[in-house]
Amino acid sequence: MPRSDAPPGPVRQGSLREWNLAVVLGRIAAADRPPSRAELAARTGLTRATVSAVVEDLLAGGLVREAEPTPRTGAGRPSRGLVLAADGPAGLGLEVNVDYLAACVVDLAGRVRHHSVLRADLRPVSPAEAVARLADLAAHARAEAAREGLTLAGAALAVPGLVDDAGLVRLAPNLGWRDVPVPALLAGHPPLTAHVDGVPPLVVDNEANLAALGELHAGPAVPASFLHVSGEVGIGAGIVLDGSLFRGARGWSGEIGHVPVRPDGRPCRCGARGCLETYAGQEAILAAAGLAGADLPADTATTRLAELAGAGDPAALHALADAGTALGVAVAGVVNLLDLDTVVLGGGYAPLAPWLRPPVLAEVSRRVLTAAWSPVTVRPAALGGAAAAVGGAGSVVRRILARPAGWLTRQP
Amino acid sequence: MPRSDAPPGPVRQGSLREWNLAVVLGRIAAADRPPSRAELAARTGLTRATVSAVVEDLLAGGLVREAEPTPRTGAGRPSRGLVLAADGPAGLGLEVNVDYLAACVVDLAGRVRHHSVLRADLRPVSPAEAVARLADLAAHARAEAAREGLTLAGAALAVPGLVDDAGLVRLAPNLGWRDVPVPALLAGHPPLTAHVDGVPPLVVDNEANLAALGELHAGPAVPASFLHVSGEVGIGAGIVLDGSLFRGARGWSGEIGHVPVRPDGRPCRCGARGCLETYAGQEAILAAAGLAGADLPADTATTRLAELAGAGDPAALHALADAGTALGVAVAGVVNLLDLDTVVLGGGYAPLAPWLRPPVLAEVSRRVLTAAWSPVTVRPAALGGAAAAVGGAGSVVRRILARPAGWLTRQP
DNA sequence: CGCTATTTGTTCAGTGGTTGAATTATTTGA
DNA sequence: TCAAATAATTCAACCACTGAACAAATAGCG
């Protein structure tokens, strides 16, 4: 029988160079101190000659700079360290959420160079109007980036809902959006980014997915594979495998909110019973803690809940323990299935992590078979607030690092 | 921040040819009728000159043959179709299970060329003795393969348990194996396969994983991504994404048996409560159907259960309905999380599929959000009995198709 | 202070592999 | 029988990597 996967692309002559550009650039990005050409040659297995040629291209394209202060060490001609350019291409991350808009710019090295948040209740606003405001915010971010010598090479927009490949927002229940063609709505505005070969000008993706990717930018100790659970009104999971997001067959992976945790339990708005969301969703937790009627904005309510729990309020503590247990049951299933070793509590769960973590950990270690061999880490997300915007911007940058040839060919 | 994934390998000069060998061979394998060189050039994007050169290598290496009967069509010089060689390298699949040993040989085209099963209760047998019997079976298979002009290029052994990277069987509870170093035990016997660059002589893997891969060989209509659930004493899931197996961070993915379906339900031997296994494991189903005391071999008991259900026995029907519901709850969670569109009921579930399928489907369509957009297919495994052996042999073949250079360099 | 050892980075001829165009091969249809 | 059409091969050109030799720059040592 034939293999059912689509055959990979051909390799033309030039693909060789393209690939080695990515190999060398990737090494420079992954190194903990500026590597020399000779070091790169040793580590990649390429000849010094080849590395020199490749680096020349990268320097000419402005993706890499020579680090001026050369660290003196031992005898021999001093090496010239190479670093990612701080003024080359950058990624633009955008986010539309229920009560804020956000934009941020991340440079090649993964540093957040600009970040702005505009608080506003977007539920009463029409999608077209929301997108228009977002375009303004993006224009501002673009100006800021230009002022620092950065060129925006692509943008990623995070939306709290289901998105299809074409960028159509199929359903964003908490925003009240349905079949909103975001790219088309943006068409009237000035383009967000420069055109770069192989990097789509705008990618629209689920907020939970991009927030998970954001975690990759949080620090050097981030593992390559982890589960990122973010609790908002719904509960989304981002599955990061080997440094990139697992999207599923149709791009709708990560719907952990409707994993059954008590099959005959509370009815859920999805029509089934006992979904995780009915036990560990924001509304459920707040209701259990007695904060239901307050009708506060989502993040304020969460802050309030954390305060109550910190002060030892029994209802709050109980609500969080219950939610944590339910979450732990669902997470244990995922970890058993995918054999992950790290679980990150993000989004609305991050500030509540001190209280959610113990019950989650308890359920996980009780239910995960391989926990005996190697323990599962459960920790709060390192990035706060608009992690999805950072993750989106980072995904653009990562795409350039993975395929630098696209950027090089478009340089004047 | 640096990307945390390890940078990919370098590309030497020759890798180019290696890659294009794989591209062209992959196209030949994926085509539904023997493609000509010109057709391959058009489809791969390579020049006709390059394709000719690549095909020459493949012909010389015995991986491909020219199909003699040329289908006449239109004007012009007739094309010579290319097919995968029926007498080139082949894969050896082996399986040790509770009550049988199996061996099979699959050729490049994915056809099962030899298959033999040896029924025997292996629980009272020592691991060394079991491996010795397996080696005999393998030797027979090798002789049969040689008689048909096939050379075994690698072997895969399926074991019902946890296996680590080195081929050490950490734990196979139903066999009573613990830390059995299968490759070492085989060292005393004649080698199973020829040595081929880049293809390990023996891979040991979980039976559920390989059985899932076997499904890929079942027919042309198999999707590239699916969940394969096989119910034996334990319940294993093989996750196939895009034609290849998802193994998880440490290779222990797929432990669906201990996904919680009723968190406060029956105690499980794993120490937790309400695991799927306690509701849809073989023992649980048989007990519920009143077949507990019979102490029949596993497959006989399953057959008996299917007979009872076919005859309308209420206890049997009830047991299957309950098991199906529990299975559906767990599967719904997986499908929500990974966004798969096909679920295959394999192993011990295959013969029970007529009764398990309706409740599984009911739970899945009730609980899976995206089921409204695109329905989830639930169907029995196409391969019967020793699907794991076929899947293992197929995985060897697939590795050769993916990296044909390894085979070509070892040819005399 | 000058010499040598040492390491970095570049230059250059050599080679493998793809490209594109021209050429040969083989058939159908007028 | 010849022209048109399609398949496959041949061949010079070119591109990118390789390996070795070479130039550059420094520390250490007498």
Q: What angle do CA A256, A258, A261 make, to 5 degrees?
A: 95
Three-state SS at B4:
coil
Instruction: Looking at mean pLDDT, say which of A14-23, A325-334, B6-15, B364-373 comes out highest.
Output: A325-334
pLDDT at B3 over 50: no
Confidence category of residue B273, pLDDT binned at 50, 70, 90: confident
Confidence category of residue B7, pLDDT binned at 50, 70, 90: very low
Mean pLDDT in each 10-residue stretch from start to end of chain A (412 residues)?
Answer: 42 80 94 92 93 96 84 77 95 93 95 94 93 96 96 95 89 89 91 88 92 82 87 87 83 85 84 89 90 70 91 94 95 91 92 96 88 86 87 95 90 56
Whether residues B222 and A339 touch (CB distance < 8 A) is answered with no
Q: What is the pLDDT of residue B295?
A: 63
Phi, psi of B170 (to 5 degrees): -65, -45
Whether residues B336 and A258 touch (CB distance < 8 A) is answered with yes
Contacts of residue A15 in chain B, CB cutoff 8 Å?
Answer: 16
pLDDT at B218 over 90: no
Q: What is the pLDDT of residue A6?
A: 39
How many helices (H) and strands (E) chain B has is answered by: 13, 15
- CA neighbours within 13 Å on the CB side: how many for A191? 11
Cα distance between residue A299 and residue A98, in whole Å? 10
Q: List, as one string, the DSSP characters of A38-72.
A: HHHHHHH---HHHHHHHHHHHHHTTSEEE-SSPPP
Q: Report the distance from CA of residue A43 to the C1' of nucleotide D23 in Å, as an integer.
A: 24
Residues 6+ apart with CB under 8 A from B204: B156, B157, B159, B163, B167, B168, B169, B182, B183
Asked if residue A215 lies in contact with residue A168, where contact means CB atoms within 8 angstroms, the answer is no
Name the token pair of B309.
Answer: 């259900």
Cα distance between residue A375 and residue B15, in whole Å? 39
Mean pLDDT, range B50-54, rounded to an integer: 95
> Residue B241 pairs with which residues in a beta bridge?
B244
Is residue B390 within a helix (H) or strand (E), and if so which, with residue range? helix B387-402
**B43's torsion region: left (phi>0), alpha (psi -120 to 50) or beta?**
alpha
Q: Report the distance from CA of residue A213 to the C1' of nucleotide D10 in Å, as an integer.
A: 52
Mean pLDDT, range B3-28, rounded to an integer: 73
Contacts of residue B23 in chain A, CB cutoff 8 Å?
Answer: 7-11
Q: Report the distance from CA of residue B391 to the C1' of nucleotide D7 in Å, as an integer.
A: 38
Q: What is the pLDDT of residue B368?
A: 87
Q: What percent of chain B has pLDDT over 90?
A: 58
CA quadruple A323, A326, A330, A332: dihedral sign: positive
Residue to mutate among B339, B365, B390, with most A CBs inside 10 A, is: B339
Contacts of residue A170 in chain B, CB cutoff 8 Å?
Answer: 373
Instruction: Looking at mean pLDDT, say which of A175-189, A293-307, B56-70, B279-293 comes out highest.
Output: A175-189
Q: Report the distance from CA of residue B258 to the C1' of nucleotide D9 in Å, as an integer.
A: 61
Q: What is the pLDDT of residue B129?
A: 95
Asked if residue B143 lies in contact with residue B113, where contact means CB atoms within 8 angstroms, the answer is no
Alpha-carbon gap: B287 to the closest alpha carbon of chain A (Å): 22
Phi, psi of A202 (to 5 degrees): -150, 130
Closest nucleotide to B75, Cα to C1': C28
Alpha-carbon gap: B47 to the closest alpha carbon of chain A (Å): 9
Contacts of residue A162 in chain B, CB cutoff 8 Å?
Answer: 370
Phi, psi of A179 (to 5 degrees): 50, 55
Cα distance between residue A301 and residue A251, in whole Å? 31
pLDDT at B119 over 80: yes
B218: exposed, middle or buried (C-beta count within 10 Å: 0-12, 13-18, 19+)?
middle
Please give the protein residue whose CA is closest to the C1' of the nucleotide D14. Answer: A13
Cα distance between residue B10 and residue B33, in whole Å? 35
Is residue A20 within a helix (H) or strand (E), and if so which, with residue range? helix A15-30
Mean pLDDT, range B94-109, rounded to an integer: 94
The chain-wide mean pLDDT, for chain B, equals 88
With CA atoms as reference, the chain A residue closest to B335 would be: A253
Contacts of residue B22 in chain A, CB cutoff 8 Å?
Answer: 8
The answer to whether A179 faces chain B, any CB pair under 8 Å, is no
pLDDT tens for residues A184-219? 999 888 888 998 888 899 999 989 899 999 988 776
In degrees to the nearest 10, what's the CA dihedral of B73, B76, B77, B79? -40
Amino acid at A342: T
Amino acid at A190: P
Q: What is the pLDDT of residue B70?
A: 60
Cα distance between residue A7 and residue B22, in whole Å? 9
Residues with CB under 7 A from strand D: A 13-14, 16-17, 20, 46-50, 53-54, 72, 74-78; B 10-13, 36-39, 48-49, 52-53, 55-56, 74-80
Q: List, as one string, the DSSP characters of A238-258.
A: EEEETTEE---SSS----GGG
**Rounded-to-5 percentages of helix, strand, coil across chain B:** 40, 20, 35
Closest nucleotide to A36, Cα to C1': C8
Cα distance between residue B277 and residue B268, in whole Å? 8
**What is the 8-class DSSP label of residue A292?**
G
Q: Nearest Cβ partner of A338 from B27, B253, B270?
A: B253
Instruction: From A51, A97, A397, A379, select the one nearest A222 (Cα to Cα).
Output: A379
Phi, psi of B205 (to 5 degrees): -145, 165
- Chain B segment 155-174 residues within 8 A of A by beta carbon are 162
Asked if residue A96 lies in contact with residue A141, where contact means CB atoms within 8 angstroms, the answer is no
**A167's torsion region: left (phi>0), alpha (psi -120 to 50) or beta?**
left
Contacts of residue A271 in chain B, CB cutoff 8 Å?
Answer: 366
**What is the 8-class DSSP label of residue A351?**
G
**What is the 8-class DSSP label of residue A220?**
T
Buried b (16+ CB within 10 A) or exposed e, A123-160: eebebeebbeebbebbeebbebbeeeebbbbbbbbbbb
Buried b (16+ CB within 10 A) or exposed e, B8-21: eebbeeeebbbbbb
Asked if residue B400 lies in contact with residue B222, where contact means CB atoms within 8 angstroms, the answer is no
Q: What is the pLDDT of residue B6?
A: 40
Cα distance between residue A110 and residue A97, in whole Å? 23
pLDDT tens for residues B236-264? 899 998 888 888 877 788 889 988 888 78
Name the token pair of A185.
Answer: 């709505």
Mean pLDDT, range B172-199, rounded to an integer: 89
B259: exposed, middle or buried (C-beta count within 10 Å: 0-12, 13-18, 19+)?
buried
Asked if residue A167 lies in contact with residue A183, where contact means CB atoms within 8 angstroms, the answer is yes
Per the model's pLDDT, the better-predicted residue between A411 and B187 turns out to be: B187
Look up the pTM and report it. Answer: 0.86
pLDDT at B1 over 60: no
Cα distance between residue A93 and residue B115, in whole Å? 56
Instruction: From A29, A157, A188, select the one nearest A93 (Cα to Cα).
Output: A157
Q: Nearest Cβ partner of B2 from A220, A254, A337?
A: A220
Alpha-carbon gap: A280 to the closest alpha carbon of chain B (Å): 15
Q: What is the pLDDT of residue B294?
A: 59
Mean pLDDT, range B379-400, rounded to an integer: 91
pLDDT at B71 over 80: no
Alpha-carbon gap: A164 to the closest alpha carbon of chain B (Å): 12
The answer to whether A31 faces chain B, any CB pair under 8 Å, is yes
Mean pLDDT, range B198-213, rounded to an integer: 91
The answer to whether A45 faces chain B, any CB pair under 8 Å, is yes
Instruction: From B85, B90, B87, B106, select the one nearest B196 (Cα to Cα).
Output: B90
Instruction: From B53, B63, B47, B54, select the one nearest B24 (Cα to Cα).
Output: B54
Contacts of residue A368 in chain B, CB cutoff 8 Å?
Answer: 258
Instruction: Provide the number of CB pairs (under 8 Å) joining chain A to chain B.
Output: 238
Please give the protein residue whose CA is closest to the C1' of the nucleotide D28. Answer: A75
Residues 6+ apart with CB under 8 A from B49: none
Residues 6+ apart with CB under 8 A from A310: none
With CA atoms as reference, the chain A residue closest to B264 would be: A262
